[in-house]
Amino acid sequence: MPAAGVVTLILTLVTVAALAAYLIRVALVLKHVNSALGSVIAGVVAIEVATRPITPILGSIVGDLTATQKALEDLLASKAATTRSTGPVLVSRLRQRRGA
């Protein structure tokens, strides 16, 4: 085999080895990027969960507070009726504030 053929084969092997090393490096960088994007996606999902609308929760709280207010008014009314005082002063004040 002539010397030019040997040099061509050696240069071809060096070129292929360089390209293989480069592609391996690119694959490793892409693997790292994939891992980093997985962490970012997990963070975005956590932010989404933490900032979801609270309107349904507020509706539930309003319902609970309304029931509590009604129970307290009934308790005050029954307490005032059992003591035979001049009337349920606190209940009447609550009703005046609410416009009832």
pTM score, whole prediction: 0.47
pLDDT digits (tens, 9 = 90+) for 17-36: 999 999 999 999 999 999 99
Element at 39 (helix H, strand E): helix 3-50
- Other CB atoms within a 10 A radius of the CB of residue 72 amount to 13
Residue 85 CA: distances (Å) to CA of 10, 24, 94, 97: 111, 90, 17, 21
When pLDDT is cut at 50, 70 and 90, the band that residue 99 belongs to is low
Tens of pLDDT, residues 39-67: 999 999 999 988 888 888 888 899 899 99
State the pLDDT at residue 96. 67
What residue spans of 51-98 are helical by DSSP H?
A: 55-83, 89-98
Which amino acid does the sequence have at 43?
Answer: G
Instruction: Give the other-Cβ count within 10 Å of 92's Cβ.
Output: 14
Q: Does pLDDT of 89 surpass 80?
A: no
- The Cα–Cα gap between 76 and 92 comes to 10
Could you give the CA distance from residue 36 to residue 42 in angstroms, rounded to a whole number?
A: 10
